[in-house]
Copies of this chain bind each other. A is one copy, B any other.
Amino acid sequence: MKVVKVGLLGLGTVGGGTVNVLKRNSIEISRRSGCEVVVTKACARNITRERICDTDGIQLTTNPNDVINDPDIQIVLELMGGDEPAKSLILSALSQGKHVVTANKALIASHGNELFAAAADNNVTLAYEAAIAGGIPIVKAMREGLSANKIEWLAGIINGTGNFILTEMRDKGSAFADVLKEAQELGYAEADPEYDVEGIDAAHKLCILASLAFGMPLNFEKVYTEGISTITPLDVTYAEELGYRIKHLGVARKSDAGVEMRVHPTLIPEKRLIANVDGVMNAVVVKGDAVGSTLYYGPGAGAEATASSVIADIVDICRQLDVPSDKTVPSLGFISDQLQEIALLPIEDVTTAFYLRLSVEDKPGVMAGITTILAENGISIEAMLQKEPKHGTTAQVILLTNSVVEKGLIAALKGIESLDSIKEPAIRIRVESLQ
């Protein structure tokens, strides 16, 4: 059987998991790929550190060039993360005719256009299934499984940390800060949680999913991003009373006006399958014009779940080792010269429904004031809760609006917030029906 030598850059969680799965499942992987896949070299910052994997038979080095310049290595796995030196190393490996598999979502989102072009120029593959939603084969589903469709929209829970926090807030009624601390203690959240809870990580993944969906170059800087740190247990509870769950969603949608890419807390009807995706799990709903709604669910992180996607890419490459790259699946699912820039809609032009929570003085005439301003701005009310003050004189009014253009809603809120009876700025959270 043909032997394919693999070199690793990075031997942390994902690298270690990949080595473990490649060894444990070597027979199945050979039976599927037709190749014996062997890791011969791995680069790590510290080669004496204890590892989660057995490194027997793997030559360890601290110099990444030992890996990418090795003429026997046909596939390089970039599992170190970060911008540089990952990017330069990938470019160098590609230029030497090596296939590259990466799990680096930030790098693909920010530099994928350049990297994919380099792969094509060198007639090799740059694969990145592990960059989005861990073990879920969502890149494959979008590039190949749904290739018959005009994709209308997609919506994903694509950050496990954020979903864990929102799930715990709902289940235990806890505040964001308390659950974040718990998540950090459990190892689900980083010491610096900004990347996860402010939606930057999700924005990287969403940007890639949007390009796969609509056939456009990657445009990371155009993703609108809003975090979950402002979500309160009160809003989680009121959403529930209205029949909704709050999820940190990445949404990409295409309409005649252009493409939306946005990451923000979102109310979803509790009946939707994705509203019931809890804990650290990920899921993506994709709506195609022919297929309708499909959903893909699984673990979004973890050593072996991510390794599952890394190795799926390796098997794909092994199956087509000498096939010219223009006869393999294009990096973004569309032939590269068929990618088209599409107008990206600024968030103020996006149309969604809204959940609004207003802190109002508990006296006659307040509701009339609010509803008049909403009506003047063409906004109708789909559902309402009114919560009398437990103590003091501040009541809570919770409204679900119809679908409105965001700038119209902001104008209406400006009017409402200028009313004497309104005590605090309105809380607003977008609502998606996902149908």
A299's nearest neighbour on chain B, judged by CB, is: B292
Q: What CA separation (Å) do A390 and B412 show in the bound complex?
A: 59
Cβ proximity bits A312-327 to B, threshold 8 Å, 1 near / 0 not:
1011100111110011
Q: How far is the CB of A102 from chain B (nearest CB, A)?
A: 16
Assess the A33–B327 pair: CB atoms within 8 A: no
Q: What CA separation (Å) do A311 and B273 show in the bound complex?
A: 26
List the B side residues contacting A308 at CB < 8 Å.
Answer: 146, 148-149, 288, 290-291
List the B side residues contacting A305 at CB < 8 Å.
Answer: 290-292
A139's nearest neighbour on chain B, judged by CB, is: B145
List the B side residues contacting A129 at CB < 8 Å.
Answer: 145
Cβ proximity bits A135-146 to B, threshold 8 Å, 1 near / 0 not:
111001100111
Q: How far is the CB of A123 from chain B (nearest CB, A)?
A: 14
Q: How far is the CB of A400 from chain B (nearest CB, A)?
A: 23
List the B side residues contacting A322 at CB < 8 Å.
Answer: 327
A134's nearest neighbour on chain B, judged by CB, is: B291
A29's nearest neighbour on chain B, judged by CB, is: B148
Q: How far is the CB of A297 from chain B (nearest CB, A)?
A: 4
A residues contacting the other copy or chain, number (CB 8 A): 68
Assess the B294–A297 pair: CB atoms within 8 A: yes
Assess the A32–B327 pair: CB atoms within 8 A: no
Assess the B312–A28 pair: CB atoms within 8 A: no
Other A-B pairs, 19, CB within 8 Å; known A25-B148, A140-B145, A291-B298:
A28-B149, A31-B215, A31-B335, A34-B326, A135-B291, A135-B294, A137-B294, A145-B309, A146-B312, A288-B308, A290-B304, A292-B304, A293-B298, A293-B299, A294-B298, A295-B295, A320-B327, A322-B327, A323-B327
What are 29 A-B pairs with beta-carbon distances under 8 A?
Answer: A21-B149, A21-B290, A25-B149, A28-B149, A29-B147, A30-B338, A31-B335, A32-B330, A32-B333, A32-B335, A32-B338, A33-B147, A135-B290, A135-B291, A136-B294, A137-B146, A141-B141, A147-B315, A148-B308, A148-B314, A148-B315, A273-B276, A291-B298, A291-B304, A291-B305, A294-B297, A297-B297, A319-B329, A320-B328
